[in-house]
Amino acid sequence: MTKKTHAFQAEVSQLLHLVTHSLYSNPDIFVRELISNASDACDKLRFEALNAPELFEDAPELAIRVAFDKEAKTITITDNGIGLSAQEAIDNLGTIAKSGTRDFVSKLTGDQKKDSQLIGQFGVGFYSGYIVAERITVESRRAGLPASEGVRWVSGGTGEFEVDTIERAARGTAITLHLRDDKTEYLDRWKLKQVIERYSDHISLPIEMPKEEWNEETKTYDIKDEWEAVNSASALWTRSKKDITAEQYKAFYKNISHDFEEPLTWSHNRVEGSTEYTQLLYVPKKARQDLWSRDSKPGIKLYVKRVFITDEAESLMPNYLRFVHGVVDSADLPLNVSRELLQESRDVRAIREGNTRRVLTMIEDLAKRSGAKSDETTVVDEDAEDVVDYNAFYAEFGAVLKEGLGEDFANRDKIAGLLRFATSTTDTVSVSLADYKARMKEGQEAIYYITAENQSAARNSPQLEVFKKKGIEVLLMTDRVDEWALSFLNEFDGTPMQSVAKGAVDLGKLQDEAEKKAAESAAETFKPTLDKLKTALADKAKDVRITTRLVDSPACLVVEDGEYSTQLARLLKQAGQKAPEVKPILEINADHALVKKLETSTAFDDLAHILFDQALLAEGGLPEDPASYVRRVNALLT
């Protein structure tokens, strides 16, 4: 193969443009990103060598080296890991494979200020080299390939890159950054060492730099031909808790998560018993970009006896806790653990259960430590900040957490206790089910809730009227997952959950005898009109009945207990899924002027349909035939 020029994939060009043109707020991170790649490359080699030990050739000691050359203005980061073949260099360094990165690029606005903030939060792996370099040369040889099949990849980071075949005896990759003139501060041993210590101390391989010696004559440091490790080179999670500082925990988090922000909290434990493992789990502050996408990856890396196995071990954490990042190191799993084994093994199940319990406890602690509720005394993790804003955590991850109601039956009560809601009397999403229960009215026998598209639709819903009148608080549920998730929660702490839009209103002891009597007699006198309504709306309504739940509105729609609500049916349809046809029940308010008018109206049929369609509109739906609706209303108006 001779030298060939390739074009970057469009997304890469976009990304590179941004990296080189935006004022990057924290250039140091290129060190972290490139060392992290080097470390991954060594992990991959170690993993492949489990079945093919010859890949180690005669150099089984893995290490990363960071060197610099003041004259040439270069920094070179070398690893003896898995390396790249020519094709891999073209594929991996010219395109973006990760869907998360692609999503990220698609969010770029072109507004430099906003974009550089975004990019700061994201981390861009290899391409971060271009924050400081005007040109990058990568020389590599894949483990197992002959020396004649080395590769050199060169690019100035604009539009294209060159790939050439070279002779390379050394296995692995050397990345040389040709620094821009305004970034030569990195050509300094002290500076580089400091950055490595800050970001990469926990890397389990030695990171080596050339030794330096003071020269009295020239009054400068001479670089020696000897290497020394500048990090502790022991996997962070294997160290004892008391030997790890909060700074080190945070740096490790940033490294495994690529998150720019610090974690909200973490928990590090050695679990002993029939299954032995170490877990180091972090809860982030912000949801990552792809948390909602279908191919969102779990955030847990699996190690077996310190050998990296996979970062796609879905079975180590339930799906609804996919926002958690961390490391699990098992002492029991075999090193050549297969995908199948990962799904079925008893040890894996035990680890997942242990992780789940741990994370739920961490979240419970967050809630207890939350600034809003400092009345409870709890043991505060001395490493984590002691005051947190649980509502802020909940705003990021509450909707994911709710999926757990349907996914994790064993922990349902625990999860329910962690949920927060806005209510008819509280604007912020901050009320727990326990809070709600504590202030239930005397005689109230259920926890009432309403699901709607958004808070104002929920607040103004006709179904809420009688509850407002009686001063009964109602939970407002406006997350898309709410209705699905809540269908798994029939009760909380012994009190049933009751949708205000389902079934007949039964306020039980909250309703007085007089009200019940009035409703019954209204149903009697109204019977002929009800029958006429049923006939007129036979296609639309399953039933028509008098209700006591309305105060100001003439009518509303409800469904039977246990049926899909009209709201959920709509959501399913929007999502292109099959939804059962729900025929709602039309409930009417016998005291309302419009309803009274029905009895004597000459345009009975029009009025009946208007009542029905308005009830639908009031809950955010659309009349089946909007044009007819408009025609009918106009006929009445004129």
Contacting positions for ligand ADP (CB under 6 A)? 37-38, 41, 79, 81-84, 92-93, 98, 125-127, 173
Measured from the CB atom, the residue of 98 and 107 that comes closer to ligand ADP is 98
Q: Which amino acid is at 632?
A: R
Calculate ∠ Cα 18-23-25, nearest 5°: 110
**Tokens matching residue 248:** 């080190």
Measured from the CB atom, the residue of 256 and 359 that comes closer to ligand ADP is 256
CB of 140 to ligand ADP, least distance (A): 7
CB of 15 to ligand ADP, least distance (A): 9
CB of 157 to ligand ADP, least distance (A): 13
Sheet holding 160-166, edge to edge: 4-7, 160-166, 150-155, 133-141, 172-179, 74-79, 64-69, 207-215, 220-229
Q: Given the structure tokens 């006896």, which residue do they identify?
A: 305
**CB burial of residue 2 (10 Å; 0-12, 13-18, 19+):** exposed
CB of 415 to ligand ADP, least distance (A): 32
State how far the Cα of 210 lies from the Cα of 390, in Å rounded to an integer. 47
Q: Which of 447, 446, 549, 569 is nearest to 501 (CA)?
A: 549
State how far the Cα of 588 lies from the Cα of 611, in Å rounded to an integer. 9
CB of 123 to ligand ADP, least distance (A): 8
Measured from the CB atom, the residue of 127 and 237 that comes closer to ligand ADP is 127
Measured from the CB atom, the residue of 81 and 354 that comes closer to ligand ADP is 81
CB of 78 to ligand ADP, least distance (A): 9
Measured from the CB atom, the residue of 81 and 623 that comes closer to ligand ADP is 81
Sheet holding 426-431, edge to edge: 426-431, 421-423, 475-477, 447-451, 495-499, 491-492
CB of 65 to ligand ADP, least distance (A): 12
Three-state secondary structure readout of 357-414: HHHHHHHHHHHHHECCCCCCCCCCCCCCCCCECHHHHHHHHHHHHHHHHHHCHHHHHH
Measured from the CB atom, the residue of 81 and 554 that comes closer to ligand ADP is 81
Measured from the CB atom, the residue of 80 and 267 that comes closer to ligand ADP is 80
Measured from the CB atom, the residue of 164 and 491 that comes closer to ligand ADP is 164
State how far the Cα of 155 lies from the Cα of 165, in Å rounded to an integer. 15
**Tokens matching residue 17:** 């443009």
State how far the Cα of 118 lies from the Cα of 36, in Å rounded to an integer. 21
CB of 98 to ligand ADP, least distance (A): 6
Question: Does residue 513 contact residue 431 with C-beta atoms inside 8 Å?
Answer: no
340 HSE (CA, 13 A, CB side)? 0
Which one-letter DSSP state was computed for residue 200? H
Measured from the CB atom, the residue of 83 and 398 that comes closer to ligand ADP is 83
Question: Does residue 422 contact residue 455 with C-beta atoms inside 8 Å?
Answer: yes
State how far the Cα of 404 lies from the Cα of 398, in Å rounded to an integer. 10
Measured from the CB atom, the residue of 35 and 313 that comes closer to ligand ADP is 35
CB of 367 to ligand ADP, least distance (A): 33
Other beta carbons within 10 angstroms of residue 441's beta carbon come to 13
CB of 576 to ligand ADP, least distance (A): 32
Measured from the CB atom, the residue of 30 and 277 that comes closer to ligand ADP is 30
Instruction: Give the 3-state secondary structure of residue 287.
Output: coil
**Alpha helix ranges (H) inside 506-603:** 513-525, 527-536, 566-574, 593-598
CB of 282 to ligand ADP, least distance (A): 18
Q: Given the structure tokens 């109230």, which residue do they identify?
A: 444
CB of 228 to ligand ADP, least distance (A): 21
CB of 173 to ligand ADP, least distance (A): 4
State how far the Cα of 364 lies from the Cα of 411, in Å rounded to an integer. 13
CB of 409 to ligand ADP, least distance (A): 36
Measured from the CB atom, the residue of 93 and 431 that comes closer to ligand ADP is 93
**CB burial of residue 70 (10 Å; 0-12, 13-18, 19+):** exposed
The DSSP line for 486-502 is HTT--EETTEEEEETTB
Q: Given the structure tokens 């080190």, which residue do they identify?
A: 248
Q: Given the structure tokens 């590599």, which residue do they identify?
A: 140
Measured from the CB atom, the residue of 83 and 554 that comes closer to ligand ADP is 83
CB of 177 to ligand ADP, least distance (A): 13
State how far the Cα of 638 lies from the Cα of 635, in Å rounded to an integer. 5
The residue of the chain with the least Cβ separation from ligand ADP equals 125
Question: Does residue 35 contact residue 203 with C-beta atoms inside 8 Å?
Answer: yes
Measured from the CB atom, the residue of 153 and 629 that comes closer to ligand ADP is 153
Measured from the CB atom, the residue of 303 and 449 that comes closer to ligand ADP is 303
CB of 207 to ligand ADP, least distance (A): 13
Instruction: Give the 3-state secondary structure of residue 189.
Output: helix
Q: Which amino acid is at 308?
A: F
Measured from the CB atom, the residue of 29 and 466 that comes closer to ligand ADP is 29
Pairing label, strands 495-499, 555-558: unpaired
